[in-house]
Amino acid sequence: MIAIAQRVSRAEVSVAGTRIGAIERGLLVFACAEPGDTEAIADKLVAKLLKLRVFADDQGKMNRSIVDVQGGLLIISQFTLAADVSAGNRPSFTGAANPELGRALYERLLATARALHPVVASGAFGADMQVGLVNDGPVTIPLRMT
């Protein structure tokens, strides 16, 4: 799985003008399943996100996790993270999982995150979404789980 985690002061996602998910301080996570990904890989991503030390401690060092700061997670499915532009200017998305696997692993990400963390919001798989955020730092961390 490929993911981008952004430390945010706040973030929200809307579909057709209706807000469907929002968090205050926390992590906005864009996630993409790849062919061959499994539920175990999705679980590994959630574990990493919950332990990722990207929030400042009392000395200003990135030393605290989302659990430590009691922040929120907003998880958005984004197959375009698998884009390949090596052969031309139009992206190819053959590196993304098929929609059935992508949906199943996205739902697994959400279920695992919700079982382990109290504040989890989400987008809508396959929807045309509008995402708004205030990136804090900015801090943006790419992740790849295998």
What's the CATH number where 88 sits? 3.50.80.10
Measuring CA to CA, how many Å separate 64 from each of 7, 49, 110? 12, 12, 22
Give the pLDDT confidence of 39-66 residue by residue, as tens digits.
999 999 999 999 999 999 999 999 999 9
Residue 129 vs residues 16, 94, 108: alpha-carbon distances, Å: 8, 21, 20
pLDDT tens track for 5-42: 999 999 999 999 999 999 999 999 999 999 999 999 99
Query: Could you read off the pLDDT of 79-99 as tens digits, one per residue?
Result: 999 999 999 999 999 999 999
Threshold 0.85, pTM exceeds: yes
Catalytic residue from among 30, 55, 78, 112? 78
- CA-closest candidate to residue 2, choices 117, 110, 80, 111: 80
Overall number of domains in the chain: 1
Q: Is 80 a catalytic residue?
A: yes
Active site residue 30: no
Q: How far is CA 96 from CA 33, 93, 114, in A?
A: 6, 6, 24
79 is an active site residue: yes
Structural domain including 81 reads 2-144
Active-site residue identified among 80, 125, 130, 140 = 80
| Relative orientation angle of helices 39-51 and 99-116, to the nearest 10 degrees | 40
Catalytic residue among 6, 30, 55, 79: 79
